[in-house]
C-alpha cells in the first residue's frame, strides 16, 4: 500500500462552493482511504493565478494501491482548482 500527500489550492470563492469542490475531489478518489484532511484556510498568493489574489489551501494524506488514471485530468478540468500537487511518500 502506498501513501500519498495531496496539496490543493482552490479559488477563494464562497465557502459552500469550496466544500462542493472538495466533495467532488473525494469522489474522484473512491477506493483510497483518506487518513488526514487539513483545511489550512485562505491565504494571499505570491502572484495572481487565473486573476485571483488569494486562495483556499487544503492538504490531504491518503493511502491506496494506485491513483485513478484520469485523476489529474479531472482536476485540470475543474475551474475551482487553481493549483495542485500530488506526492507519493515512502
**What is the residue range of 78's domain?**
2-89
Count of domains forming the chain: 1
How far CA 23 is from CA of 1, 5, 29, 35, 39, in Å, comes to 24, 17, 10, 15, 13
Q: pLDDT, tens digit, for every residue of 17-72?
A: 889 999 999 999 888 999 999 999 999 999 999 999 999 999 999 999 889 899 99
Residue 10: CATH number of its domain? 3.30.70.60
DSSP code per residue over 1-58? -EEEEEEEEEE---HHHHHHHHHHHHHHTTTSEEEEEEEEEEEEEEEEETTEEEEEEE
Residue 4's pLDDT is what? 94
Given pLDDT bands bounded at 50, 70 and 90, which one contains residue 10?
very high
Given pLDDT bands bounded at 50, 70 and 90, which one contains residue 16?
confident
| More confident: 57 or 14 | 57
Q: Look up residue 78 and give its three cell numbers.
A: 475543474
Amino acid at each position: 500500500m502506498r501513501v500519498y500527500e495531496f496539496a490543493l489550492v482552490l479559488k477563494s470563492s464562497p465557502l459552500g462552493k469550496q466544500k462542493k469542490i472538495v466533495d467532488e475531489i473525494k469522489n474522484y478518489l473512491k477506493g483510497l482511504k483518506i487518513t488526514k484532511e487539513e483545511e489550512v484556510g485562505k491565504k494571499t498568493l505570491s502572484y495572481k493565478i487565473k486573476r485571483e489574489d488569494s486562495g483556499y489551501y487544503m492538504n490531504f494524506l491518503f493511502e491506496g494501491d494506485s491513483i485513478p488514471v484520469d485523476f489529474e485530468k479531472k482536476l485540470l478540468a475543474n475551474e475551482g482548482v487553481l493549483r495542485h500537487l500530488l506526492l507519493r511518500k515512502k
